[in-house]
Amino acid sequence: MKALKASIRVAVAALALSLSLGTPSRAEQDEAGTLAQQMKELYRAGKYIEALPLAQKSLALREKEFGSDDANVAMPLNDLGTIHYNLGQFAVAEPLYKRALAIREKTLGPDHPEVAMVLNNLGDLYRAEERYAEAEPLLKRSIAVSEKTLGPDDPSIVLALCNLGAVYSNQGRYEQAEPLFKRGLAVLEKAHGPDDPEATVLMSNLADAYIHRHRYADAERLLKRSMAVTEKAFGPDHPDVAQALNNLAALYARQGRNAEAERLFKRSVATMEKTLGPNHPDLADVLENLADLYKEEGRLADAQQVLKRAAAIRGKTRAS
């Protein structure tokens, strides 16, 4: 079963960084900046659909004021790309990230924290699309730039550590993934304490590595901790909570705890529908997990119904 790699959480942290560097400039206090701040609040609440038009308008205003290749346009491009990414609109997000990266490299040089951030975001997009050969060098470069400019223990390095670990995990390279997740967790716990919501993505991904190495008790402990921290930080109706529910359900299904698994999968579906809408690819992943559970129990009609819906979502995602 697919344990979601919690890529939404990674993108939230990246977006928050891109909108919060330093004191607000004059530009950030104008209409486009005000829109960007409103968008950030919606985004952190998991309201990506509502955040999208604000990000689009903010970018349009910046392009009108400065031109399409100006340094002031890079972060609005990145932010809009991040929202599209989290809505599962990968083909729309990719050129936005590429434009942001080109502008940042031109204006700041190749070794700058903001370059590392966009490299991470583009690398994680490729990971989500299973383009692992393209994702790995971008994420390694992001880590190298962050280590060079900020040091090995700066929390911003965790994003790329986590995503590179997920690249390895998704290819079954769990022995390479585990130390990256552990390093990321240690950095965040040192910087922010044990209940940092940014650490939940690493908890989930490390748990996934444990599951595939049959360390089920360690995995369950981490997944329960991840869900508790996430609900405390964001409340029950947030995409990250939906992912945590899916991941714990996948563990229970693997252990044959089917009734518990079904209940959590259904909660995950309901939360994703409420927060991400009815056509998000992560929702299709959870539906496919639920269908696998039904098949395991011999409930073939239920499985077929759920798979039909997942296939419809996949079709819409590919068409968009």
What CATH number corresponds to the domain at position 201?
1.25.40.10
Examine the domain organization and report whether 39 and 152 are in the same domain: yes
- Of 189, 214, 232, the position where a domain reaches its end is 232
Examine the domain organization and report whether 227 and 214 are in the same domain: yes
CA-angle at 6, arms to 89 and 119, nearest 5°: 65
Examine the domain organization and report whether 227 and 249 are in the same domain: no
Compute CA distances 297 → 49, 74, 156, whole Å: 36, 51, 44
Examine the domain organization and report whether 209 and 244 are in the same domain: no
The list of the chain residues with pLDDT below 70 reads 1-29, 317-320
User: Judging by beta carbons within 10 Å of its beta carbon (0-12, 13-18, 19+), is residue 178 exposed, middle or buried?
Assistant: buried
Examine the domain organization and report whether 193 and 141 are in the same domain: yes
2 in a structural domain? no
- Of 232, 253, 285, the position where a domain reaches its end is 232
Report the distance separating Cα 57 and Cα 208, nearest Å. Answer: 39
20-24: long-range pairs with CB below 8 Å, 24+: 21/114
Examine the domain organization and report whether 216 and 241 are in the same domain: no
Examine the domain organization and report whether 211 and 247 are in the same domain: no
Number of domains in the chain: 2
Would residue 172 be called left, alpha or beta, if left means φ above 0 and alpha means ψ between -120 and 50 degrees? left
- Residue among 195, 111, 207, 192 nearest 158 (CA): 192
Examine the domain organization and report whether 198 and 294 are in the same domain: no
Cβ-Cβ contacts under 8 Å for 104 (sequence gap 6 or more) = 71, 74, 112, 114, 115, 118
Report the distance separating Cα 105 and Cα 12, nearest Å. Answer: 22
* R_g of the chain, CA atoms, integer Å: 19
What pLDDT sits at residue 44?
83
Report the distance separating Cα 93 and Cα 235, nearest Å. Answer: 28
Examine the domain organization and report whether 225 and 259 are in the same domain: no
Cβ-Cβ contacts under 8 Å for 49 (sequence gap 6 or more) = 87, 276, 277
Report the distance separating Cα 290 and Cα 166, nearest Å. Answer: 22
Cβ-Cβ contacts under 8 Å for 98 (sequence gap 6 or more) = 122
99 in a structural domain? yes
257 in a structural domain? yes
Domain span at residue 100 reads: 7-232
Q: How many C-beta neighbours within 10 Å does residue 67 have?
A: 10
CA atoms within 13 A on the CB side of 230: 26
Report the distance separating Cα 93 and Cα 317, nearest Å. Answer: 13
Examine the domain organization and report whether 246 and 152 are in the same domain: no
Q: Where are the alpha helices (DSSP H) in the chain?
A: 7-19, 31-44, 48-66, 74-86, 90-108, 113-128, 132-150, 158-170, 174-192, 200-212, 216-234, 239-254, 258-276, 281-296, 300-319
161 in a structural domain? yes
What pLDDT sits at residue 151?
95
- Of 217, 232, 247, the position where a domain reaches its end is 232
Examine the domain organization and report whether 175 and 113 are in the same domain: yes
1 in a structural domain? no
Examine the domain organization and report whether 204 and 254 are in the same domain: no
